[in-house]
Amino acid sequence: MKKGKESIFKGASIAELYSKFGVVLILILSLIVGTILSPEFLTGSNLMSVARNVGVYAIIALGMTRLLIGGGVDLSAGSNVAFCSVILAVIYAQTGSTLLAVVVTFAAGMIIGAINGYFASYIGLMPFIVTLATQMTVRGLAYLVAGGAPVYGVSDSVVFLGQGNVGGFPMLLIVVLVATAIMLFVMTRTSHGRYLYAIGGNPEAASASGINVKRQVFVNYIIMGLMCSFAGILYAGRTNSGLPAGGVNFEFEAIIGSVLGGTSMAGGIGNVAMSIVGIYVVGIINNVMNLCSVNAFWQQVVKGIVILVAVLLDVFTRNAIMKSTKKR
């Protein structure tokens, strides 16, 4: 009997540890494989380039992880990023005020998030359907506001956020680390964060325990809109423009990174810090394929396989944890 209990505990601990820290092992393996395949990979300049390239995805992933933990999803994130980059560039071009452009951009992104949240929470529509609709709608709005073409030119301070360096480190990396620390605090040290875990795990039980599920979900989508607007500002800084055609599939990059980082698409499980590690794993995979001159079509095949593997790992890990919990 004792041996049986030990084996159950051992199995549970492995599943739980993998769900929390397995992406670190994947990161280490990615670094080793990248070093073997390309001598240019493990250089400071290349690694900093990876950090800079995935910065926008990382900011989106912070919001996406929160949504997945709470049982939601946002397929309009990429369109929202493009829309916000256009809003920033247009307002700056018309007024010359960086502050006004940033404030309006944050407001625009949060309004899109609020619309998603309202229909997903208070109306009760499926988040997948709601955000798929807003994905197309917001993309159209981005083209309308931009006049169908990129809007070039943003302020030097915004460009610095997207392209600058501080002490040899990309400013974008510093922004991501600070944002991750803040979001980690919110998710682990505030009642709102705890509520999201409870809602994602079992919304009926969360409601029965006194949690206002609809309000928390609504707020969660507004914060997702905030993160998209922030990502849009950084994206405009990266490109020195507002791009209505930009941000395509950014939401999927964020979802892949989040799931690789141990966030369950079924809700209730996840860690924003590990999601950022997952984003960097995705960035390393993309970087290694580029260094090895892998055909763009094959790169799409590899990304599709990565998505499938991430989802399978999520399912197997979650089932292992649930089975071991029941046996206890």
Average pLDDT over residues 65-92: 98
Residue 107 reports pLDDT greater than 70: yes
Cα distance between residue 286 and residue 247, in whole Å: 16
Residue 73 reports pLDDT greater than 80: yes
pLDDT of residue 312: 83
pLDDT of residue 11: 46
Inter-residue contact 242 to 229 (CB < 8 Å): no
Mean pLDDT of the chain: 92
Residue 242 phi, psi dihedral angles, 5° rounding = -105, 120
Q: Report the alpha-carbon angle 254-256-259, nearest 5.
A: 105
Q: What is the pTM of this model?
A: 0.92
Amino acid at 109: G
Options 1.10.150, 1.50.10, 1.10.3470, 1.10.1760; CATH for 32-316 is 1.10.3470
Helix axis angle, 171-189 relative to 213-239, nearest 10°? 170
Provide the 3-class DSSP secondary structure of residue 248. Answer: coil
Cα distance between residue 15 and residue 9, in whole Å: 10
pLDDT of residue 12: 46
Inter-residue contact 35 to 217 (CB < 8 Å): no
Provide the 3-class DSSP secondary structure of residue 124. Answer: coil
pLDDT digits (tens, 9 = 90+) for 178-218: 999 999 999 999 999 999 999 999 999 999 999 999 999 99
What are the residue boundaries of the structural domains of the chain, listed by start?
Answer: 32-316
Cα distance between residue 101 and residue 87, in whole Å: 7
pLDDT digits (tens, 9 = 90+) for 54-63: 999 999 999 9
Which residues have a Cβ under 8 Å from the Cβ of 127 and sit 6 or more positions away? 67, 72, 73, 74, 116, 120
In the DSSP assignment, the letter for residue 138 is H
Percentages (nearest 5) of helix, strand, coil residues in the chain: 80, 0, 20
pLDDT digits (tens, 9 = 90+) for 222-274: 999 999 999 999 999 999 999 999 999 999 999 999 999 989 888 998 999 99
Inter-residue contact 290 to 283 (CB < 8 Å): no
Which of 86, 65, 87 lies closest to 74 in space, CA to CA?
Answer: 65
- Helices assigned H by DSSP within 209-271: 213-239, 250-260
pLDDT of residue 15: 64
Dihedral class, residue 150 (left if φ above 0, else alpha if ψ from -120 to 50, else beta)? beta
Under the banding of pLDDT at 50, 70 and 90, the label for residue 326 is low
Under the banding of pLDDT at 50, 70 and 90, the label for residue 1 is very low
Neighbours of 57 (CB within 10 A): 26
Q: Is 75 exposed, middle or buried (0-12, 13-18, 19+ CB in 10 A)?
A: buried
Look at 103 and 310; give whichever has higher pLDDT: 103
Name the one residue in this structure whose structure tokens are 């944002």. Answer: 179
